[in-house]
Structure 1
Amino acid sequence: MERESFKSRLGFVLIAAGCAIGLGNVWRFPYIAGQYGGAAFVLPYLGFLILFGLPVLMAELAVGRGGRSGVAMGFDNLEKPGTHWHKAKYLLIFSNYVLMAFYSVVTGWMFYYFYKMVTDQSFLKGTPEQIAAGFGEMLSNPALLIFWMTIAIVLGLGVVSLGLQKGVESVTKKMMICLLGIMILLAIRAVTLPGADEGLRFYLLPSLERLTQSGKGVGEAIFAAFAHAFFTLSIGIGSMAIFGSYIKKDHSLPKEAASVCALDTFVALMAGIIIIPSCFAFGQEPGQGPGLIFVTLSNVFAQMPAGRFCGSAFFLFMSFAALSTLIAVFENIVSFWMDLKGVPRKKSAAWNILVVILLSLPCALGFNVLSGFEPFGPGSCVLDLEDFFVSNTMLPLGGMFFAVFCSSRYGWGQENFFKEINTGRGLKLPVNGFIKVYFKWILPALIAVLLVQGYMSKFAPELCARIFG
């Protein structure tokens, strides 16, 4: 049977970017930039994105396009006879399930906040402490979290069940265009607020003095940029490989990867332009951490003229960003069983609704019923454990696996890999001695450092600070 393909190249770029564009861009990126002195983090992040994120993205897309499958059969079709690279498929798809187990819950938060902004006129009326308490009240309500989590799962898998072109491509294209439009309007509003110019200077003009004042070292800021450049593209667990399997060989993969990376980066930078100047305009701290979106920005909207309208638009934008990732990763999960077992698309989507809901329950209950389970000590929860497994373990480990598979003569091999990525019109990757050495040795070594640093920062923070700070 002929494999499905995208209706247009724009469809591929928007959907692949939609997979990369998620809460890491519009939630994590701004607060990390705030913590590390703004531009002192942003500039090295952009450099590492090119040196680090792009190569692994190209490797995932190449495995998908070359193997005409996602991780289900991609390695099987490309590996040399007698080797066992294909066995990694089970750990990779399991990681996709774990990602959805907590990402669907957080997507539900976005849906809930958008709903409250639109329907509840009193939602932003209260003291800053009351607004902050509202976030805690949401987390303490298991029925509420499960309801919105289920809405997110059913909506995401419902879109996937409609098919690649009629469902995933059609819906995601419209949603991404709306996302970009809302973002531009919010950015214009943010930069025209009184006092926003100070936030723009913080965000766009490098200053070692600000970095020192933040309490972070130069080495720590650079390493944070290094890590986020990898995580922001959602690479390492095969989520991008499936989209490589749907594209034709008309355009080179460096061109496609650069387009996806550019759009992903644009959204991250624009999210910072929306959030950081707004925080400065109303005396809020942009580097507060994960509470930035639900507590800090809610307080900003409470003080802003037409704040309820801006808050509604912002959480609609956040909902689109989260849902685009859900749809993309669900497409990878559904297509895995289609490719591996020949399960029809609608049947695979229907069964996965039940599976993902069950897998997501521990995360939803981890803030209330299961709050006594603290895997990393006081204050931690199920979400922290699942996020650590995906972000600090499987993304770097999987990224290393893709890089080694594409470069090793025992895997796919560099000659086959470079031939695949340079097939088609557009940007070509020069194949010379340095590029070959970089892909074969330097890139896996850098990913290994990232993996070690992630574990040390969690389990040996003082030693990690001495080494990497």
Structure 2
Amino acid sequence: MEREKFSSRLGFILISAGCAIGLGNVWRFPYITGKYGGAAFVLVYLVFLLILGLPIMVMEFSVGRASQKSAALSFNILEPKGAKWHLYRYGAMAGNYLLMMFYTTVGGWMFSYVCKMFLGEFSGLDAAGVETAFYDMLAQPGPMIGWMLVVTFLGFGICSLGLQKGVERITKAMMVCLLLLMLVLAVRSVTLPGAVEGLKFYLVPDFHDLAYDTDGRFILGAAIYDAMSQAFFTLSLGIGALAIFGSYIGKERSLTGEAISISVLDTFVALVAGLIIFPSCFAFGVNPGQGVGLIFVTLPNVFNQMPLGGVWGGLFFLFMSFAALSTIIAVFENIVAFAMDLGWSRKKAIVVNGIALILLSLPCVLGFNVWSGFSTPVGNIQDLEDFIVSNNLLPLGSLVYLLFCTSRRGWGWKQFLAEADAGEGLKFPKWSRAYVTYVLPFIVLVIFAMGYYQKFFQ
């Protein structure tokens, strides 16, 4: 059976960016930027995005395009005879399933908040009332399961239409809407009375705030680690989530230039999310570094104080829903491709995986209510699923791709470089061989080890 292809280069860039653009950009990035003093942290993050995320992204795309398969079979095709690299396919496949086991739940929260905002359910509530409304939502398994089902059916429904007519066409439209929504919200935010202080915080670097917190404690090491991990995790590297899209494109364009375009779009969304959030928070005297509660507790309070706040809040959560759904569609397509590479039809892959992911997503939903008494060393069920993916499968999977593309016992540097540089456009720098072979794997191992240190020893 002939491999499906994207109909256009723009489709490849927008869908790959859609996979990378997710809640990490528009949720985690703003609150850790707020935590570490704003603009100076953004500069450090951008440096790490360039030297950490970009090379691994090119490697994932190269493995996908050279093999013309998903991670389920790509290593089998490219590895030397007798090698065992293909065993990592189980890690890659597990990473995609585990990511969706909690991402569908959080995506459901976003869709739920779109309705709550437009219906005015937060109007008249004080800060404590908004917080109570969030935890009341988590405590109700019925509506939570309902929204998770909406997200799952929507994602697999789009995948069922095929690569070009479903995934590509709808993701392109959704990404355009996402970008337009962001620009409208950013203009509204920066024109609020008092927004100038938020813009200064976000755009004017203060390296003292990067090194010391408000209590005078030295935090530079933690800030550098969080900048590294954000640059690394924002692109969903290491589980083959991007490699699949490499398998859907031809050799007309070199992969380094394409990876840069995707990284620029991913970064643009993260930076504009900050332009929406920081001026709004400063305009209404709200702390922007309030962790995960920033989106669901802090910002509804901000919208409550705005004229037409329900409309602006509804548009904001619509944009958040598009960001979440773009990732869900991309990863669902990867999961479907696993099954299709193993000989299933698209229809069978969607039906079986749809049922499986609905069942696999239930523990995360129930972990906030019916099974709330169940805890693990890293927190609730969602925390455990996130820890397995973010702190283990993403860094270790990225290490596998790095070693596979640079080692004589793997695919090898020459084959990787030939694939990455095929076509017109920017070429992968040959002088970086020592860096990506020795230095970058060491940095990935440091990120992996620091993830455990922060979880268990701080």
Same fold, TM-score > 0.5, yes or no: yes
Query: What's the CA shift for 1:347?
Result: 1.3
User: What is the letter of the counterpart of residue 82 of structure 1?
Assistant: G
Query: What's the CA shift for 1:73?
Result: 1.3
The structure-2 alpha-carbon separation of the partners of 1:216 and 1:269, relative to structure 1 and needing over 3 Å to count, comes to farther
2:243 — aligned with what?
241
Does residue 17 of structure 1 match 2:50? Answer: no
User: Deviation per CA, 1:245-300, whole angstroms, max 9, x where unpaired?
Assistant: 00100000001100110000000000011011110111111000000001000000
Does residue 76 of structure 1 match 2:66? Answer: no
Match among 281, 284, 292 for residue 283 of structure 2: 281
User: What is the letter of the counterpart of residue 172 of structure 1?
Assistant: T
Kindly indicate whether the alpha-carbon contact (under 8 Å) linking 1:70 and 1:245 is maintained by their aligned counterparts in 2. Answer: yes
CA distance in 1, matches of 2:153, 2:274: 30
User: What is the letter of the counterpart of residue 401 of structure 1?
Assistant: V
Kindly indicate whether the alpha-carbon contact (under 8 Å) linking 2:117 and 2:313 is maintained by their aligned counterparts in 1. Answer: yes
Matches within 5 A, 1:149-228: 149-211=148-210, 212-214=212-214, 215=217, 217-228=219-230
Query: What's the CA shift for 1:125?
Result: 2.1
Q: How many percent identity over aligned positions?
A: 56
Match among 437, 441, 445 for residue 434 of structure 2: 437
1:466 — aligned with what?
none
Aligned length: 455
2:46 — aligned with what?
46
Matches within 5 A, 1:227-376: 227-340=229-342, 342-376=343-377
Matches within 5 A, 1:54-133: 54-118=54-118, 120-133=119-132
1:392 — aligned with what?
391
User: Deviation per CA, 1:303-322, whole angstroms, max 9, x where unpaired?
Assistant: 01111110010010000000
Kindly indicate whether the alpha-carbon contact (under 8 Å) linking 1:40 and 1:221 is maintained by their aligned counterparts in 2. Answer: no
1:464 — aligned with what?
none
Query: What's the CA shift for 1:376?
Result: 2.6
Give 3-state SS (helix, strand or coil) of 1:295's partner: helix
Query: What's the CA shift for 1:216?
Result: 5.4
User: What is the letter of the counterpart of residue 356 of structure 2?
Assistant: V
CA distance in 1, matches of 2:297, 2:185: 18
CA distance in 2, matches of 1:216, 1:260: 34
RMSD: 1.0
CA distance in 2, matches of 1:2, 1:250: 18
Q: Which moved more, 1:157-166 or 1:210-219?
A: 210-219
User: Deviation per CA, 1:108-142, whole angstroms, max 9, x where unpaired?
Assistant: 00000001122x23432211111111000000001
1:404 — aligned with what?
403
Kindly indicate whether the alpha-carbon contact (under 8 Å) linking 2:36 and 2:213 is maintained by their aligned counterparts in 1. Answer: no
CA distance in 2, matches of 1:353, 1:116: 27
Kindly indicate whether the alpha-carbon contact (under 8 Å) linking 2:60 and 2:401 is maintained by their aligned counterparts in 1. Answer: yes
CA distance in 1, matches of 2:208, 2:58: 37
CA distance in 1, matches of 2:457, 2:59: 32
Q: Which moved more, 1:450-459 or 1:201-210?
A: 201-210
Query: What's the CA shift for 1:386?
Result: 0.5
Kindly indicate whether the alpha-carbon contact (under 8 Å) linking 2:39 and 2:202 is maintained by their aligned counterparts in 1. Answer: yes
CA distance in 2, matches of 1:59, 1:113: 37
Kindly indicate whether the alpha-carbon contact (under 8 Å) linking 1:159 and 1:167 is maintained by their aligned counterparts in 2. Answer: yes
Query: What's the CA shift for 1:226?
Result: 0.8
CA distance in 2, matches of 1:337, 1:180: 32
CA distance in 1, matches of 2:185, 2:377: 37
TM-score normalised to structure 2 length: 0.98
1:421 — aligned with what?
420
CA distance in 1, matches of 2:31, 2:121: 27
CA distance in 2, matches of 1:440, 1:122: 54
CA distance in 1, matches of 2:347, 2:178: 27
2:455 — aligned with what?
458
User: Deviation per CA, 1:65-95, whole angstroms, max 9, x where unpaired?
Assistant: 0111110111111100111111110121011
User: Deviation per CA, 1:136-157, whole angstroms, max 9, x where unpaired?
Assistant: 0000001111110011011001
Query: What's the CA shift for 1:350?
Result: 1.1
Kindly indicate whether the alpha-carbon contact (under 8 Å) linking 2:238 and 2:396 is maintained by their aligned counterparts in 1. Answer: yes
Query: What's the CA shift for 1:239?
Result: 0.2
CA distance in 2, matches of 1:218, 1:87: 38
CA distance in 1, matches of 2:108, 2:206: 37
Kindly indicate whether the alpha-carbon contact (under 8 Å) linking 2:95 and 2:239 is maintained by their aligned counterparts in 1. Answer: yes
Query: What's the CA shift for 1:217?
Result: 1.3
CA distance in 1, matches of 2:392, 2:313: 35
User: What is the letter of the counterpart of residue 116 of structure 2?
Assistant: K
Unaligned runs of 5+ in 1: 462-469
CA distance in 2, matches of 1:247, 1:187: 34
Kindly indicate whether the alpha-carbon contact (under 8 Å) linking 1:36 and 1:216 is maintained by their aligned counterparts in 2. Answer: no
User: What is the letter of the counterpart of residue 449 of structure 2?
Assistant: V
Kindly indicate whether the alpha-carbon contact (under 8 Å) linking 1:92 and 1:398 is maintained by their aligned counterparts in 2. Answer: yes
CA distance in 2, matches of 1:8, 1:38: 37
TM-score normalised to structure 1 length: 0.96
